[in-house]
Amino acid sequence: MTVKELQNALRGKVKGLWKMNKPELLKAYKELEKSPEAIVEKALEEKQILRPGNREEWLEIREGGLGGSDIAAVIGLNEYSSKIDVFISKTARNNAVLKQQYEEKQKKIRESEAVQMGHVLEPVIADIFKKKNKGYTVVDLPVTVKANPWEIANVDRYLINEKGEVGILEVKTTTLYNKDKWEGDSCPRNYLCQVLWYLGITGLKYAYICCLIGGQHYRQFKIERCEETINYLRTEGRIFWEDHVIHNIVPEPDGSSSYTEHLQFLADYAEDKGEKIEVEAAADKVETYEELIEQRKELDKKIEKIKQEVFKEAIERGSKRGLWGRRKFSIQGGPYKGFDSKKFKFENPDLYEQYLVEKTKRQYIKLS
């Protein structure tokens, strides 16, 4: 290798390159080849590796493809998001209304205490894995791996086992309320999809998912590469990307709370022509809707009966809080002090007007 080639290979990885002669550059290059980061990069050398320089670049890359949490939402296994969330996140730049909806939701996510603590605890949990699994080297390599134009992987950490085989480490945090989802020999399916998506993109053979539950319980699961599942995920990802993102076609309603939020957001900007219309959509489902309403009434009654039984025993035993299976119960309510706004308005109309502010109530559809 020439001096220039060595300098290019070492740029950003070794300081003081301009002071080094060729023998020194060769020595630094050989040492670098033995580093854990170099071993991981060699395992990924046939893949497209992107190195975002800041958050904005990272977001731009993320918007340009489907990540691990995206693919779980696309196939309906992500309890925190759905197809409409993924669609908005990939197309919001081209639509002012969708962009505002996306930015509002991202702001809430960033400000979420759970998300913030997850970022803080990620290196701590990775270190716990390292201490519990002496045969593995944990490598923090902040790169994005890309396969097809719509397939991207932002891996938390990489692993190197004693044989020199490279794998993936995905780090999670959750509350005690979700502890039962991590019991047994299987982890939540959305995280399983996530790491299999990453294995498909990177070409690696194995992964570990580790999770800190409630800040005190640690779980880890080894995931082996499964070609059948990976092929299924890639097919579904391609269909979604081509049918919806590329052609900018909004996914159909799916019953998720995310889709309802999307429609409520659109309703805030929709024009009201003041006309009554006869809706043609889902006309063949009117009878089904009526039947489901009746079924829901019966189910609500059964649910309320069970709650009453819990309520009754708690009262009889003189307790207002406790456990019921994996759920907590508490008896709430009772006397409290409130503000009588009607009386205040009547006695102080001018002062009342000074403190009025205009608010927007999120719109919803009422079927009666």
CA 21 distance to own-chain centroid: 48
351 domain-assigned: no
Rounded CA-CA distance 35/50 in Å is: 20
Give the domain-ending residue among 246, 270, 297: 246
Tokens describing residue 130:
């390292």
Judge if 56 and 117 occupy the same domain: yes
Contact indicator for 145, 44 with CB cutoff of 8 Å: yes
131 domain-assigned: yes
220 domain-assigned: yes
pLDDT digits (tens, 9 = 90+) for 44-66: 988 898 888 787 888 888 889 99
Cβ burial 1-19 (10 Å sphere, 16+ → b, else e): eeeeebbebbeeebeebee
315 domain-assigned: no
Judge if 25 and 54 occupy the same domain: no
Contact indicator for 241, 233 with CB cutoff of 8 Å: no
Judge if 8 and 65 occupy the same domain: no
294 domain-assigned: no
225 domain-assigned: yes
Q: Which residues span the domain enclosing 114? A: 50-246
Higher pLDDT residue, 50 or 159? 159
Angle at 240 between CA 98 and CA 253, to 5 degrees: 60
Determine the pLDDT at residue 17. 67
pLDDT digits (tens, 9 = 90+) for 58-98: 888 888 999 999 999 999 999 889 999 999 999 988 888 88
Confidence band for 138, pLDDT divided at 50, 70 and 90: very high
Judge if 11 and 149 occupy the same domain: no
Judge if 102 and 30 occupy the same domain: no
CATH of the domain at 147: 3.90.320.10
Domains identified in the chain, total number: 2
335 domain-assigned: no
Higher pLDDT residue, 232 or 334? 232
